[in-house]
Amino acid sequence: MSFFAQMNDDIRSVMERDPAARTRLEVVLCYPGLWAVWIHRVSNRLWRSRLRLPARILSQVGRFLTGVDIHPGAQLGRRLFIDHATGVVIGETAIVGDDVTMYQGVTLGGTGKEHGKRHPTICDRVFIGNNANVLGNITVGENSRVGAGSVVLADVPPNSTVVGVPAHIVYSNGQRVLITDPHDIKDPLSDALIALSARVEELEERLGAQERRAQPFAEEEAERSAYRAELDHARVYVSMGEGI
């Protein structure tokens, strides 16, 4: 597909996905996320042609104009829509599939200084909410959604929705995922939750054991009460005969 055919494809996809887009001219003139994608396509060609410095300079020009920082080595698919654009960062070894939607503040970044593939792979038709961070050499599966402000540190299966810091799955294939095991929530407070859960289980076991030990005494007390009731009845009976 030629460069201009791709541009036309991008404009059409924005018109379909953004209800605020009224005309094609408005999309061309007022969508910096679209400019960032177009600038990247040129810088990426320079990068693949081993013109690394011109590619980096062009990417910095695009960053200045759009507020989007896309490394020229990143691989972007067709019809990428970066809505509102400002603050988006896409690292060198990131791979983005077709029909992906990102909002402002999204980061596709690394987690260290390792070499090789160190940025995420975003598969087709993924939605990434604003200020979400997808970090490391992980994969976000097709048709998945990343909630706003989430920090994704592990692979996301296809057709899933993840939220949280760090992110965990809340929907899978359209079904709500109920979390019953604290180990499933990789939260900084997970260890505290696990320890609290274990303590509650221990106390429940101890309470149950005490109740079992107390049961025989309760039976004995019931027998004593019945015996006292019989004595009281006999005492009344005997008193009725007094003075005869």
Block residue for tokens 């396509």: 41
Q: Which residues contact 129 (CB under 8 A, 6 or more apart)?
A: 103, 106, 145, 146, 147, 148, 149, 150
Cα separation, 209 vs 214, whole angstroms:
9
Q: How far is CA 97 from CA 11, 13, 75, 175, 211, in A?
A: 17, 14, 8, 25, 61
What integer pLDDT is reported at residue 145 of this predicted model?
A: 95
Helix H segments across the chain?
3-17, 24-30, 32-48, 52-66, 190-239
SS3 sequence of 225-242:
HHHHHHHHHHHHHHHCCC
Per-residue model confidence as pLDDT tens for the chain (244 residues):
777 888 999 999 999 999 988 999 999 999 999 999 999 999 999 999 999 999 999 999 999 999 999 999 999 999 999 999 899 999 999 999 999 999 999 999 988 777 889 999 999 999 999 999 999 999 999 999 999 999 999 999 999 999 988 888 888 888 887 766 656 666 666 667 777 878 888 888 888 777 666 666 666 777 777 777 777 776 655 555 555 4
Angle between helix 52-66 and 32-48 (nearest 10)? 170
> What pLDDT is attached to residue 242?
52
- String of DSSP letters for 188-236: TTHHHHHHHHHHHHHHHHHHHHHHHHHHHHHHHHHHHHHHHHHHHHHHH
CATH topology of domain 3-178: UDP N-Acetylglucosamine Acyltransferase; domain 1 (2.160.10)
pLDDT number for residue 75:
95
Alpha helices in 119-189 (DSSP H): none
pLDDT at 174: 80
3-state SS assignment for residue 134: strand
Nearest C-alpha neighbor of 162 from the set 189, 141, 192: 141
Q: How many residues does the chain have?
A: 244
Whether the model clears a pTM of 0.75, i.e. scores above it, the answer is: no
Instruction: Judge contact between 146 and 126, C-beta under 8 A.
Output: yes
Q: Which residue has the tokens 């949280």?
A: 164
Q: What is the pLDDT of residue 71?
A: 96
Domain extents for the chain?
A: 3-178, 181-244
Given this model, what pLDDT does residue 63 score?
94
